[in-house]
Amino acid sequence: MATTAPSQPGPKPLSPPTTIQAASSTARTPQQPSQQHSGLRTPSNRKTIYDRNLNRTRTAELSRASFAYLFSEMVTYAQRRVTGIQDLERRLNEAGYPLGQRLLPLLLYRSSTPTHPHPRPTRILPLLQFIAHPLWRHLFARSADSIESSSTNPHEYMIVDNEPLVNQYISVPKEMSQLNCAAFVAGIVEGVAWAVGLQCAVSAHNAGEGDAMWPGKTVFLIRFDESVVKREAIK
């Protein structure tokens, strides 16, 4: 194993490639003025991300309008740079992936107490339950509508959302009827599953055709890798 450099030199203040990093992750705390790193920049209130609390309350919710606006901008941004629907969905998926990676430890941390840590989901069913309930509740303030397993293929599972929040303010043109912008949410699900080590591919599909009650019904198809299903069978 190669060794990391124990302490990296602080980013130079004005070199463009490192400015984002400098703003986000490196700053000096007020308690330790002796630790001078010449290149470090500190926020004006002298607080770093390490001074923040990880337990935000329920009131820290984002307004639906601003989310819808940001999300539609995201879709537009992606759409300008792609060649087809699949490419667009892939981009949305990739945008959601890091979100899932971060939400998993955060939600487990919040539901843990020092004496009773929340267990990690290591098998398929606990993982799906984690996604459909705590994760969905955190993101959309309600649980997913159902979890189903495919009757024909043991690799495939489905999470059904009757009315995805992300699609609520998106009208898909007729010629792009294949498109489902919930690919973003599929990316989040994929990020969670890969983070725990259950490799899979997740895609979002429209399933509301002919459904009078839920025309926007979306199925998230989770296709696990061969290795995951094999491991599942061993235990």
Partner 1 sequence: MSYYFCIVGTQDQPLFELEFGTSKQGGDGVARFSQEARQMNPFIVHSSLDFVDELQWTNSQMYLKRVDQFASSHVSTFLTPTSTRFMLLHLPHPPNTAPQSTPSPNSFPPFTPYTSTPASTTTAGRSSSSSTTSIPNNPTSPQTEEAIRAFFGEVFEIWMKAIMSPFASVEGKLGSPVFRQRVVAAGKKYL
Q: Contact residues for partner 1 (CB under 8 A)?
A: 1-8, 10, 20-21, 23-29, 32, 35, 37, 40, 48-50, 52, 54, 98, 101-102, 104-106, 108-109, 114, 117, 119-122, 195-197, 231, 235
Nearest residue (CB) to partner 1, 139 versus 158 = 139
Q: How far is the CB of 67 from partner 1 (least distance, A)?
A: 16
Q: How far is the CB of 76 from partner 1 (least distance, A)?
A: 20
Residue/partner pairs of 12-20 with CB below 8 Å, 24 or more apart: 12/39, 13/39, 13/41
Q: How far is the CB of 36 from partner 1 (least distance, A)?
A: 10
Which amino acid is residue 3, in one-letter code? T
Q: What angle do CA 60, 219, 100 make, to 5 degrees?
A: 40
Element (H, E) at 107: helix 85-110
Nearest residue (CB) to partner 1, 73 versus 87 = 73
Nearest residue (CB) to partner 1, 48 versus 129 = 48
**What token pair was written down for 45?**
């209130």
Nearest residue (CB) to partner 1, 122 versus 150 = 122
Nearest residue (CB) to partner 1, 145 versus 225 = 225
Nearest residue (CB) to partner 1, 135 versus 219 = 135
Q: How far is the CB of 218 from partner 1 (least distance, A)?
A: 26
- Provide the total of helices (H) and of strands (E) in the chain, helices listed first: 7, 4
Q: How far is the CB of 124 from partner 1 (least distance, A)?
A: 12
| Beta-strand pair 200-206/146-149 | unpaired
Q: Is 230 helix (H, G, I), strand (E, B) or coil?
A: helix
Instruction: Kindly give the interhelix angle for 85-110 and 64-79, rounded to the nearest 10 degrees.
Output: 140
Q: How far is the CB of 13 from partner 1 (least distance, A)?
A: 15
Distance CA 209, CA 20 (A): 45
How does DSSP assign 144-165, residue by residue? -SEEEE-SS-TTEEEEEESS-G
Torsions phi, psi of 161, nearest 5?
-125, 120
Q: How far is the CB of 118 from partner 1 (least distance, A)?
A: 8
Nearest residue (CB) to partner 1, 20 versus 141 = 20
Radius of gyration of the chain from its Cα atoms, rounded to whole angstroms? 21
Which amino acid is residue 62, in one-letter code? L
